[in-house]
A and B are shown apart, each in its own frame.
Chain A
Amino acid sequence: MSQYRVLPGPEHFLPPAAASMGIYLPNPGEAHINGVIVPEDKAYEEAAKQFLMAKVPTIFPGPLVLWAWNEKAAKKATAVRHLYNTLKECVQPGQKPMLIPMPDYRPKYPKINPEVEINPNHPNLTIWHNKIDCCMFIGVHCHQANLSLKIIRGGTSCYTIAMCAQAGHEDAMLSFRDASVEKIMKLADWVRKLKGTVQPRLTSAKSGASN
């Protein structure tokens, strides 16, 4: 088993792809935390904890859930909105949950407005600008998600979560696989369950913006 761990950055001038460091993707029913394979249930708790600890917990929905290209996508979008609303209800004063879309993958620098959207080619801009310290990708095509996750790990200290509909992402600090409406709702349930039990990092210097 690899000794490498997928941790919040900033890691390196050009951090390695975690897969190249011997990190494997989880099998069905599993997830990974920092590159270590865990039962999926453990990952729900950890993801909810990270959301509730963060000063600016943020969800980045991608094109696969932003556009109602089939019935399942529309249902997932509703579930994502539910998770966001749950987060807003469960955080403490001073925490600022955000929902920032990744509507497409066109390179937009240097003109992107990082306040209203995120782009996989320069996701660090959105992290820095909004001082995001925990984020979750959902509905982003796997290749584009991996680009983003690695660039974020390279240049920021943001904690990254992937709610992936396929095989998961090694370059996230925590990754689910085979994402479904049920899994998104289950994560929302965990956020509600842990409400008030997690101390937020409001005064911590650990901020994406500082890097």
Chain B
Amino acid sequence: MAETHSVIGTKNKKGQTYTDTWKMMNEAPRTPSFYTGSEVIKEAIRRASCDVMIAYPITPQSEAAALIGELFAEGYIGDYFRGESEFAVMSQCAGAAFGGARVFTTTAGPGTMRAMENFPMWAGARLPIQMIVTCRGINSPLSIQPDTLEIAYLLNTGMLVWHAETAQDFFDWILKGYMVSEEPDVHLPLALCCDGFFVTHTKDVVNLTPADMCLPPYDPYRSPVPCMDMECPPVRMMRDPFVMKSNYISYATHASWQQEIWAAVERSRKHSIKWLNGLIDAENTDAEIMIVASGTAVSQGREAIRLLEDEGVRCGLVKVKTLRPWPEEEIREATKNAKHIFVPEFNVTGWLAKEIKATIPNHHRVHAGPHVCGGMTMPPEIIVSEIKTALGMKTFSLAGRGS
């Protein structure tokens, strides 16, 4: 509908060429680089044609937020400032997105929780903001260490929620994430999560796209809601809103509005499959034992599978890439041959195992664990031990007093 002019092939003020995203991500040469996850976030945003980044310090995302400040100083981002709190940041992100900007922010742990009211608002207002969540502990007593409990709270906000395993995922998914969330039939915010410190503060080899290529700019005229129309919902929030009327029609409107948000999550499925090459990665799906995991628990699961193979135990792996949209059919298909499904997680409640149990038939097959939390690491040996115990095999105590 918009009077759009293709900018592909033209240069921005930094001399980067606006490039067809598919070509940039899939065909352009890649340069191996040795970076921390935080530096990778910076490098992705350098190429993301972001208009606005709003920051607030909270470990472990502070470094990434500061590095993006350097990008602003270098002229790669239209505007950058620090909010008064995480709640303020997320509200200010909404304002910028309402105005038609491509918006980026980062948060973690208690910051995610403090800003929580904004996330269903973002989704309801159909704002395609991208938020990096570098997960850490959220409860008292204080912990800044890795823990993925905060993801559980994001799952029902109406946002897209993806869980990166590696810094390479992070680099690619930041850029691809905008392509999915800005589709007019989706147009939802994306919470791109990773396990704090494990991904943000460790160095890894990441294959980067050329720094002189960048995403095409966001086109707000494709938005499914009017851009900054102060008289109409969703911008018009409080003056005579239909949510405050007490009659069937106003209730039906709000119900339909909510349904539309979740319909948009469903529509993201098609685009996510295209850009991420599927909502899951699966290996050895004919095995009777499967590990299903997301985030860095996938890496630990992969190592556990190698250890088990040394002992003659064959095990398959499902890497869950998107939590919203939830890969229901994919997980059902990938686990159909499994007699035992193990779900290692870096949180105390086991939210991923609960999601899987609600998805597959014969959910007694799901072993919710092993769990670690509060910053504990998950040695692959404890996954091995959990599996061997369930199979009735002899195992050893990983943290025993010795005998």
Residues of A within 8 A of B (CB): 14, 16-20, 24-25, 63-64, 70-73, 104-107, 109-110, 121-122, 124-125, 139, 141-144, 146-147, 150-151, 154-155, 165-168, 170-171, 179
Contact = CB atoms under 8 A, between A and B. Distances in A.
Interface in B241-277: 241-242, 245, 247, 249-250, 252-253, 255-257, 259-260, 262-264, 266-267, 270
A104 B256 contact: no
B185 A167 contact: yes
B259 A166 contact: no
A25 B245 CA distance: 33
A166 B3 contact: no
A198 B145 CA distance: 70
Max chain B Cβ within 10 angstroms of own Cβ: one of A18, A71, A106: A106
B232 A109 contact: no
| Majority-rule SS of B interface residues | loop
Interface residues of B, number: 38
A83 to B, nearest CB: 17
B263 A121 contact: no
| Max chain A Cβ within 10 angstroms of own Cβ: one of B242, B266, B270 | B266
B71 interface: no
A150 B256 contact: yes
A141 B226 contact: yes
B259 A106 contact: no
A17 to B, nearest CB: 4
Interface stretch (B23-31, B62-70, B96-104, B217-225): B217-225
A107 B256 contact: no
B263 A146 contact: yes
Contacts of B245: 107, 109
B259 A107 contact: no
Interface of B: 1-3, 126, 183-185, 187, 222-226, 229, 231-233, 236, 240-242, 245, 247, 249-250, 252-253, 255-257, 259-260, 262-264, 266-267, 270
A20 B249 contact: no
B345 to A, nearest CB: 27
A20 B255 CA distance: 14
Nearest to A154: B252
A139 B224 contact: no
